[in-house]
Structure formats: C-alpha cells, structure tokens
A and B are shown apart, each in its own frame.
Chain A
C-alpha cells in the first residue's frame, strides 16, 4: 500500500509538471528568442512562461474562485463580490487630497461651482462585497470635503445611491447608465432644482468584459451591457472633439468592436469637447471632469444648449479662457471620489 502511494505520488507529480511544461512549450505563442549567455533572455523565458501559459485563463479562473471561497482580500486590488467585481478603495494620498481641496476651494471662491463626486462601487454595491471587506469611509470623507469647500454646491449622490444597488458595471469600475441616471436626477434635485426628464435604455452590447475581469481572472462573472441612453424627447446635437472631428451622435459604435466598450460614450473624449444641442434653455455648462462624466453627458444634453467638457488629466489649454466664453451659466466638476483623492487637479 505504502509503495503504491509513493509511486502514485511521484509519478503523478512528475507527469503533471512535465506534461504541462511540454504542452506549454508547444502550444503557447510568441516564444522569446533564446541566447545561451544572456540572463535577460532567460528572464524573458520565465516571464513568457507565466504570461502566455496555455491554460492561463482556466487556471486564473480557478484561482480567483478559490480566493473568493476562502474569503480572500481580493486579487489585484479588486474584491470578488457576489456576482460582481468591485475595485477596492482602501487608501488615498492625503497630500493630493489636501491639494485638490485647496485648489477647488480657491476656484469655487471665484466661480459658482457645482461639485459632483461619484462614490465608488465599494460604497454603492456594498451588499455584494465579501463579508470582511473594508475600505475608506466615503461618507465621512465626502462630509469632510464638503466642510472644507463651503463655496461649492454639492450634489449628494451617496445617500441616494447607497440605498439601492446595480449602479456600477460588474466588470468595470465606472458607474453604468442606471448609476449616471441617478446622478442626473440628484443634479436636477440638488442643483438645477427641477424635475428630471425621462429616459429609456437600449442595449447595444451584452458582451462588455471590462478591465476588472482581466485583473482578477474571475471569468464566471456575467458580462456587462452597454446601453444607449435615449431621451423621451430626442434632441439634435453636434459634437466637436478636440482633434477637430465632428459628430452628430454622443455614441461611438466603433468602440463596441473594441475591448474598451466604455469608449462608446463620447468616444472616451479627451481634452476639450464641445456639444451644441437643439435644446433652447439658454443655459450653457462647462463640465470639468474625469471619464466618469462621459456617461452622464447624454442626460445633461436635455438641460443645456451648449456643453463644454474639459478633461482634467488631458486638457492642456487654459481653463480660464474656456470659462471666459460668454454665456456659460453653470460650471460642474464631475469626478469619481477615488480619482479626486488620488489625482492632482490643476486649474490653469
């Protein structure tokens, strides 16, 4: 019996390891060139073996499932929740936050600023988190930011979004069309002070496999839908992107053929984007934002004749020149709370 167990253990272990090694050599792609006396070439081979492993997806999925079942603290900064992936927001840079608060407060003293800070999925999708998941107390953090920027008008998204769920993609850290709709309704309630318009959604793709899937390997998580946001009263519009491209739609169908389907909204516009609408409200807005605002824009087109979208990270021009344009009635800053705490904002 003992001899049989010894034989079974040794033979099965050697066969398993050896066959995986041989099969990987023949089935994996992009073998690196090999040089006998180059250490770098040996390191490339090691990296290639891990990155191009022929059973990589299956093994990663199994590993992710095991991590979920053992109550792990997540993989690659992502919690594997119940049916959804939730990016962790466990930390931020206090120096960056302090700088941003100070910059926004100075800005708000000179301009009437509406501040929309979008809570992360770890707050809005709390019910799906693993049992002992922990992160930054976003409620406390938002209250602290609010106290330190008394001159800005806040849209209180957290209290509305925390009561329900399903406001974020399952495989992408951004809020989805439903989440942005809640954001729009809160803006109407807290800032514009009127009733929100009606919208319906039309699914354009049901196969969006966002970046969180790649980071965790949790392939069993259902793919996301990308939805077109259709207003009850459609408007004509002209979108002028920073590269000079002009479009008459807020959506980029080509993005649905790519991996980053979130680019469907405004072609993941960078720099400055100008949108003229057929809405005759005589109200124009400047939106200083990160990419969270792109999915909110379809809702705001119901409210404004002109929208100027300025991306904080990529716009290199002068913001004060944009603001000096005549006719701007509202200024919004729309950012993810996580980005607000970690990415330095400069008002040029």
Chain B
C-alpha cells in the first residue's frame, strides 16, 4: 500500500489515527503490529506469512546467538554467518535475480525464464532489520529481546517498510510526549511528506519525463532543465516518503531517525554522503564489514544505488557518486567552489541515470545534455521552467534551507491557526491529484 495512495489516505490513515488516539500505551506495540500485518497483507497477501516467518527466524537466531556470544564466540559468529547468509540468498533471489536474468535475456540468452517472483513492498527493509538484529546481539550492541511480540513489532513496523528510515532495535523506543502531541506532530510531518510527494516530486518527475521522451530531441538547455527536475523528483520523492514514515511512527509515539538531513545544502561529496539516505548508508557501513572508512563509504554508496533500483541504472547512480566521492578527496579544501560544482554535476547525472526508464535511455539523455541535442536553446526551456515554478522554488529551498525555521516560527506564533485548514487543503489536493490521474506510484515501489 502506497503511503500517498488514495486507499491509504482514505481508509488506513483515519483508522490508524483513531487507533493511536484510543490505544493505551502498554498495548501500543500490539496495535502497531496488527496495523503492520494488515499493511503487509494488503500489499502482498501471500507474503505476509513468509515475512512473519523471516521475523520469527530472526528472533530464534538472535536467542541462539545470545546463548553462545560469551562462552563460545566462534559458534556465535558461525550462527550469525549462517543466518545472514540465508537472508542474503533470499534477498538476492527476490530482488536481484530477476533484473540479472532480464539483462541476460536481453543479451541473447532467451532460454532463461522471464517470469520471476515479484518483490513484495517492504521486503528489503524487513531483511535489513532481520540481519541487523542477530548481528547487534553477536557484537554486544544490544541484548536479545525477550518478547517475540516486541521484536515482531519492530521488524514489521509498517511506516518504515517501504523505504526507511532504518532504525536499530535498541533505538526503537517510544518517545515521552503525550498522545495528543504525538498524533499532531506526526500528522504534520506526514502532511509535509505528502506535500513533497504529490505537489513537488510528481510535477518534477513529469517535467523530466517530458524532456526525456521528446522524440524529436531536446535542446541542451532543456536537457539540463530536465536533469535538475530529475534531481528534484528523486530528492523530494525519497525525503517525502521518509517524512511520511517518520510522521506515521510519531503518531504511535515512536521516533524514527532522520533519513535526509538537507543533503542538497551540502558543500561537498563527503558532506553529502553523511546527509543523504543516512540510515541506509549507515546500515551498509555498519553491517558490511570490510575495508577502511573510504572503502566503506564507497561500498555504502554503491549498495544504496542498487537498493534503490537493482539494475544498471542503480549501479550507475552509485558509481557516479562513488567516483565523485573519491575525486573530491583529491581537490584541495581551499577551492570549495570546485567541490560544490563537482557534487552538483554528479547529482544531476546520477539522478538522470536512476530515473531514466532504461540504461540506454539514460545514455541518450546524457548525450543530449552535451552534444546530441537539436539546438542549444528553444522555447520549450522557458516553458519548462516557468510552468514548473513550484518544483523550481522547492529545489531552491532545499539548497538554501529557509523553510524549516520559518515553519517552526509559524507553529509557535499566533499564525498557527492556519495549520488546520492548510492540512485539510493538502489532503483534498492529494485526493484530487489521485482521482485526476496526476499522482504517480512510488518510483522504486517495485524494487524496495
């Protein structure tokens, strides 16, 4: 179920809000688990048992590893390797085997099967949680959970399943705010994510696709405008979903970590990697245990790209950013402008690659940005910019972070009365966009 989808907003969300408002604190985890099971069942009915079984297996392996971690460490490590191996094989088969076989079929190996198991939404983050739990126990980062329900509640926690943010078991604890404050602040955060997704990302993505599908070719300037739109669409789509997840968790009293910390305001690639998909990259840095810091950073970027989209496009996203990270280290600190230009060039090209329908389309588009264009500029460029002022303004606001402090000031001032009508209008807009066919499903819904 898509967090920005009509069914989610009109049925799941109000019932969930009601549940959060009425459920006593001690039953909150049970309530969340019930909602999570319903959420997973709705997205992939047949996988609900498989996903629950994966969570139970994690509980059992965690308990066994905890028994050996002090008195027989090699045995604990062996058990961890077996557990992680099983999950990784499962992840490979479900998420990566299909794209690999499709690629091989397109290279002429037509005898390979063309129908694969469809990855259920949320499967990736479920596996990340299932691997991290026994690993944390093995390396004494957390103690085994006594209550299976508590563990299931964390692993199956539905807000984070679609695209994060990832939260480690020991950090998954309820906040201290009152129920009313939680629901209100959670709702505002959800609404902010919905706004990013339906108003900004959808429009920016349409703009990018308009340019990329121009059969007669685009001008150089239009192609660059489209690349900026691709970056806007990617950032606001992912951060919008992260905001919605954080908001939904907050409603139930849980505080998820931030996934995007104003990454577009970064001054160089190093800073960017610390601000973009923070929890996902941290997971890779923590649980993919080889190499020094630089190697881990590069590995984390590459794997993040593949997790966004398990294809050549995802790999290209990772390679572009990883190479830029390495190149950026060679540039002296005294010329920050060059570092920033390099970062933005990498962001634009990588966004084109990850959002283009295919790798060939991405190459064609990149060529249009330089030489393979119909002209340098045309009337379309101005039209694209001026008819998409909202995404353009949003991109500027993401680079120069002014909106968040402004929003905080409104919340704490007499002008806070505008919040209820603004939230209502936003929900009406989201519904109107959905029934007008103007909304789009999550870009990576099939691959996350």
B424 and A12: CB pair below 8 A?
yes
User: Contact check: which of A36, A49, A59 meets B436 at CB < 8 Å?
Assistant: A59
Tell me, yes or no, whether A130 is within 8 Å of chain B by CB. yes
The 6 closest A-B pairs by CB, nearest first: A21-B10, A18-B14, A134-B383, A73-B387, A132-B386, A6-B184
B residues in contact (CB < 8 Å) with A: 5-7, 9-11, 13-15, 17-18, 21, 42-46, 180-181, 183-184, 187-188, 191, 203, 206-207, 210, 213-217, 378-380, 382-384, 386-390, 416-417, 419-420, 423-424, 427-429, 431-438
User: Contact check: which of B213, B379, B419, B429 meets A5 at CB < 8 Å?
Assistant: B419
> Closest A-chain residue to B11, C-beta based?
A21
Instruction: Give the segment of A86-94, A101-109, A169-177, A198-206 that binds chain B.
Output: A86-94
CA distance A2 to B6 in the complex (A): 30
Instruction: Give the segment of A37-45, A239-247, A290-298 that binds chain B.
Output: A37-45
B45 and A9: CB pair below 8 A?
no
B10 and A71: CB pair below 8 A?
no
CA distance A186 to B421 in the complex (A): 56
Q: Please give, as numbers and ranges, the residues of chain B lying within 8 Å of A66 by CB-CB distance.
A: 429, 432
Q: Please give, as numbers and ranges, the residues of chain A lying within 8 Å of B183 by CB-CB distance.
A: 6, 10
B416 and A10: CB pair below 8 A?
no
A39 and B45: CB pair below 8 A?
yes
A14 and B383: CB pair below 8 A?
no
**If A93-B215, A217-B436 touch, does A131 touch B386 (CB 8 Å cutoff)?**
yes
Q: Please give, as numbers and ranges, the residues of chain B lying within 8 Å of A71 by CB-CB distance.
A: 386-387, 389
Tell me, yes or no, whether A230 is within 8 Å of chain B by CB. no
Given contact pairs A9-B187, A133-B383, a sample of 5 additional A-B residue pairs in the complex whose CB atoms are under 8 Å apart = A16-B424, A21-B11, A38-B45, A134-B380, A217-B436
A residues in contact (CB < 8 Å) with B: 1-3, 5-10, 12-18, 20-21, 24, 36-39, 42, 45-46, 49-51, 53, 55-56, 59-60, 62-64, 66, 70-73, 75-76, 90-94, 130-134, 136-137, 217
User: Contact check: which of B214, B417, B428 meets A91 at CB < 8 Å?
Assistant: B214
Distance (whole angstroms) from the CB of A158 to the closest CB of chain B? 17
B434 and A132: CB pair below 8 A?
no
Interface pairs (19), CB distance under 8 Å: A2-B416, A5-B419, A13-B420, A14-B13, A17-B10, A18-B14, A24-B10, A37-B46, A42-B43, A46-B5, A56-B435, A59-B432, A59-B435, A62-B432, A63-B429, A70-B389, A75-B436, A91-B215, A93-B215
Q: Please give, as numbers and ranges, the residues of chain A lying within 8 Å of B431 by CB-CB distance.
A: 20, 53, 59
A130 and B387: CB pair below 8 A?
yes
A13 and B427: CB pair below 8 A?
yes
CA distance A21 to B214 in the complex (A): 39
CA distance A150 to B217 in the complex (A): 26
Q: Please give, as numbers and ranges, the residues of chain B lying within 8 Å of A8 by CB-CB distance.
A: 420
Q: Please give, as numbers and ranges, the residues of chain B lying within 8 Å of A132 by CB-CB distance.
A: 382-383, 386-387
CA distance A49 to B379 in the complex (A): 39
Of the listed residues B43, B45, B188, B203, the one surrounded by the most CB atoms of chain A closer than 10 A to its CB is B45
Q: Please give, as numbers and ranges, the residues of chain B lying within 8 Å of A24 by CB-CB distance.
A: 10
Q: Please give, as numbers and ranges, the residues of chain B lying within 8 Å of A50 by CB-CB distance.
A: 6, 434-435, 437
Distance (whole angstroms) from the CB of A234 to the closest CB of chain B? 45
Q: Please give, as numbers and ranges, the residues of chain B lying within 8 Å of A16 by CB-CB distance.
A: 424, 427-428
**If A42-B45, A60-B432 touch, does A9 touch B383 (CB 8 Å cutoff)?**
no
User: Contact check: which of B389, B390, B423 meets A12 at CB < 8 Å?
Assistant: B423
Q: Please give, as numbers and ranges, the residues of chain A lying within 8 Å of B7 by CB-CB distance.
A: 45-46, 49
A36 and B424: CB pair below 8 A?
no
> Closest B-chain residue to A96, C-beta based?
B215
CA distance A6 to B10 in the complex (A): 20
Q: Please give, as numbers and ranges, the residues of chain B lying within 8 Å of A18 by CB-CB distance.
A: 10-11, 14-15, 18
Of the listed residues B183, B378, B419, B432, the one surrounded by the most CB atoms of chain A closer than 10 A to its CB is B432
Q: Please give, as numbers and ranges, the residues of chain A lying within 8 Å of B45 by CB-CB distance.
A: 36-39, 42
Distance (whole angstroms) from the CB of B38 to the closest CB of chain A? 11
A90 and B210: CB pair below 8 A?
yes
Q: Please give, as numbers and ranges, the residues of chain A lying within 8 Å of B436 by CB-CB distance.
A: 59-60, 63-64, 75, 217
Q: Please give, as numbers and ranges, the residues of chain A lying within 8 Å of B427 by CB-CB distance.
A: 13, 16-17
CA distance A295 to B232 in the complex (A): 46
B213 and A91: CB pair below 8 A?
yes
Distance (whole angstroms) from the CB of B399 to the closest CB of chain A? 22
> Closest B-chain residue to A137, C-beta based?
B379
A13 and B423: CB pair below 8 A?
yes
CA distance A56 to B436 in the complex (A): 8
B423 and A9: CB pair below 8 A?
yes
B214 and A5: CB pair below 8 A?
no
Q: Please give, as numbers and ranges, the residues of chain A lying within 8 Å of B9 by CB-CB distance.
A: 17
Distance (whole angstroms) from the CB of A173 to the closest CB of chain B? 19
B215 and A73: CB pair below 8 A?
no
Q: Please give, as numbers and ranges, the residues of chain B lying within 8 Å of A130 by CB-CB distance.
A: 387
User: Contact check: which of A9, A70, A72 meets B420 at CB < 8 Å?
Assistant: A9
Q: Please give, as numbers and ranges, the residues of chain A lying within 8 Å of B216 by CB-CB distance.
A: 91-94, 136
User: Contact check: which of B6, B17, B383 meets A49 at CB < 8 Å?
Assistant: B6
Distance (whole angstroms) from the CB of B12 to the closest CB of chain A? 9
Q: Please give, as numbers and ranges, the residues of chain B lying within 8 Å of A131 by CB-CB distance.
A: 386
B214 and A63: CB pair below 8 A?
no
Distance (whole angstroms) from the CB of B263 to the closest CB of chain A? 27
A12 and B386: CB pair below 8 A?
no
CA distance A37 to B44 in the complex (A): 8
B388 and A73: CB pair below 8 A?
yes
B420 and A12: CB pair below 8 A?
yes
